[in-house]
Amino acid sequence: MSDSKVRFADRIIDGKAFAEGLRERIGAAVSGIEAAHGLAPSLAVVLVGDDPASQIYVRNKGRAAEAAGIAAADHRLDAAISQEELLTLVASLNNDAMVHGILVQLPLPDQIDPAAVIDAIDPAKDVDGFHVVNVGRLASGQMSGPNAAMVPCTPLGCRMLLEDRLGDLTGLEAVVLGRSNIVGKPMAQLLTQANCTVTVAHSKTRDLPDVCRRADILVAAVGRPQMVQGDWIKPGAVVIDVGINRVPAPTGDDPDKMRLVGDVDFDAAIAVAGAITPVPGGVGPMTIACLLANTVTAACRQNGIDTPAW
């Protein structure tokens, strides 16, 4: 453990511990749903090709689902599969009442248009929250009822960590650094709905450090290793570091060794911030936990069952 982590241990937001607690709550909810309604929430995960990182991620999802009592079925397809064949599989999963959540692991091979595949998923089963219908529902604030938005997993996890640390977010100034469809944009929507004043910043924002320094909440999701420096952070601000970047960390025994870092210079930031998520062990574990929560939510909505409050 680094000196900074020891000195400022109370400032670290332990996403791993929070995710473990969330998975326990999910498991309890699944047991209750099965007992009361005879329903076993299920997730179909589609993996095309043999990308090593995707294989590890899918395997971890399957293990986490199984531990929570969620039935997870992997559909592993050859990298040469045609788009038509993949869309046929998605259609069959849409029509299968025993499947409550569908996740197609990205990236996909070059011959397949990811937007076409995402658009083919039934929005009610889109546990990634990427379908344009769910994007629209989130943007319009449709967050309750049977046709509520499915929220992308990583921003959902970030919001949970923020509310756990800060409670009511009303009136706080938030800066989201990054404007991706997967994290930045939905994160900004969630913070807006939490009554924050939200600025979406990016690499082309003028005076970017000054913009970041205004933030009571800074969410870094730009994909650049250690881009955010300590002097970019308002003293006492809460920093959520979404970045996962591999950078060289050579040693005498292993000159090719790599290590994971976030989009924030952690050692510099933790001396200034009021709280911060580490990398690894911060946002990452929340993504899979929120995928499981979304699967249970989808199963409940599809069967007219009250949705658990996570």
Residues marked as catalytic: 61, 105, 128
Distance CA 76, CA 46 (A): 6
Distance CA 70, CA 161 (A): 23
User: Is the omega angle on the peptide bond into residue 146 within 30 degrees of 0, that is, cis?
Assistant: no
CB 131 within 8 A of CB 125: no
- According to DSSP, the residues that pair with 259 across neighbouring strands are 247
Paired tokens of 163: 């509310």
Helices 284-302 + 52-67 axis angle, to 10? 60
Phi, psi values for residue 244, rounded to 5°: -130, 105
- Coil/strand/helix, residue 144: coil
Q: Residue 21: CB partners within 8 Å, gap ≥ 6?
A: none
* Helices marked H in the chain: 3-7, 15-37, 52-67, 83-94, 114-120, 132-139, 153-166, 184-193, 208-213, 266-270, 284-302
Buried-state track 1-22, b at ≥16 Cβ within 10 A, e below 16: eeebeeebeebbbebeebbeeb
